[in-house]
Amino acid sequence: MSDTGSDIGTAAWAGLLRVHAALVPRIDKELQSACGLPLTWYDVLLELNSAPARRLSMGELGEVAVVSRTRASRVVDQLVEAGLVARELNPEDKRSAWAVITEEGRKRLRSAAPIYLDAIRRHFTAQMTDDDARIVATALEKVLTRPAGWDINTFPRPR
């Protein structure tokens, strides 16, 4: 990447961080005010609801949820306590468990979805044209689908 490209890349990264920092707390607050669901809960419920058999192992959940693997386990504990998720023992591996969305969890997710989608529209996509949104989505997907075998740990760390 040229120096100019590097400047644009750095600006894109900084913009992504600023947008994330500004919008996540705002959307979280709106979800909590409207339906009592923190954004982290919504994300975990959404991933579980979309999964085959509406369940994921804790490792799988940690890979797909926006929260860290450690945080995913704590969020699942909170969701279990609230009756929105259940834990089921994995019959193939007695040491692991699946997180499974309950009917109450699905009901709460459905009631929160319009608030979540409206917040995304008002705070994010309303500021863009359809072409802008398509470009952002495509660019971010490219970052997530890096070439096979790519591993950040193979690159030298800054000193």
pLDDT value, residue 159? 37
- Adjacency order of strands within the sheet including 93-101: 55-57, 93-101, 85-90
SS (H, E, C) 63-125: HHCCCCHHHHHHHHHHHHHCCCEEEEEECCEEEEEEEEECHHHHHHHHHHHHHHHHHHHHHCH
Can you tell me the distance from the alpha carbon of 83 to that of 103, in angstroms, rounded to the nearest whole number? 9
Q: What confidence score (pLDDT) does residue 146 get?
A: 72
Class of the CATH-defined domain 24-113: mainly alpha
Name residues of the chain where pLDDT drops below 50.
1-3, 155-159
Encoding tokens for residue 33?
A: 């005010």
56 - beta bridge partners? Answer: 99
pTM for this prediction: 0.82
Distance separating alpha carbons of residues 130 and 138, to the nearest angstrom? 12
pLDDT (0 to 100) of residue 129: 96
